[in-house]
Amino acid sequence: MPKHDWLPEVPLGAGMVEFATYLNRASEFIDGDAIGHIRAGTKALRDATPRDIPPVHSVEEQSFEGLRYRVIRPNNAAERPAAVYLHGGGWSHLDIDVYDPIVRRIALESGRAVAAIDFPLVPEVQFPVNLEMCVKFVRRIAESHSANGSISLLGDSAGANLSLAVALVLRDGGDALVNSLGLIYGAFDLENEPDSYIRHGNGSTPLTLEDIRKSRSLYIPDAARRSHPLVSPIRADLRDLPPVFLALASHDPLYDENIAMASKLGQSGCNVTLKVYAGTIHGFLEAESVNGSEIASRAMRDLGQWVALHSC
């Protein structure tokens, strides 16, 4: 069974209530239901909000097959990336600018360089195009840039889904390029709606059941294909994966499928560590830059230590 920091049910922390209010303000900036409106509105929310962007040694902007990516170096010794971060946003929105404070913090906490890419979004592309591009990018970073020929692969929400799928593709291809996985409140089961979808997706937190259904339909319009193991990795053969760190938000609609994923990883012989961050909501890592959330800082410190442990 996975190592697990079991925590009792607790109310949302004060900082999370404030953060949820911030996320809900996105509706003020979104003028329509089209994905372009959602992208513009979520960007406008961040542009209108003072965020704490931690200083780092260097930020290098590069391009990979026409896609923008960024390498964050926390110090002058961190020359080559030790990790790749795949951002969340329902496979359809958000980008490395929104995630810049998070990636910087993980780089600082790990003492290692971290690369993040603006992978192709739906609906402009359809699965598996975005996954295939992430596989190519991870292979490029691991083989050409990393110090030891392998990397930590990190991602949250949709990015955690893609990170695990990338690791499965590379494993099946015999490529030992991923030395560890850091998966943060991931979307691992696109077929089912467990109890936590009702507990926490009823409007009590910003991520609702309706939001989840929209994201699924954009990512995989054909519901019959959502059982594919690279779409719903809870269905995959999880043997022979590298060590996994699973970070969960206690008040997340995706909570139950993350617990199920941790259990299946453990049953598959994977070295898995599960941490539940009490009183938090989906997307809470961003709260550090918005309101100085201590628990978000702690989670990124844990992720940074995970990267440092596996990139010695």
Query: Active-site residue among 87, 200, 251, 282?
Result: 282
CA dist 123 and 213 (Å) reads 15
Q: How many CB atoms lie within 10 A of CB 138?
A: 26
Query: Active-site residue among 100, 189, 252, 256?
Result: 252
Question: Does 215 qualify as catalytic in the annotation?
Answer: no
Question: Does 251 qualify as catalytic in the annotation?
Answer: no
Give which of 260, 244, 142, 99 is closest to 194, Cα–Cα: 260
Question: Does 237 qualify as catalytic in the annotation?
Answer: no
Query: Active-site residue among 92, 146, 152, 157?
Result: 157
Residues known to be catalytic = 157, 252, 282
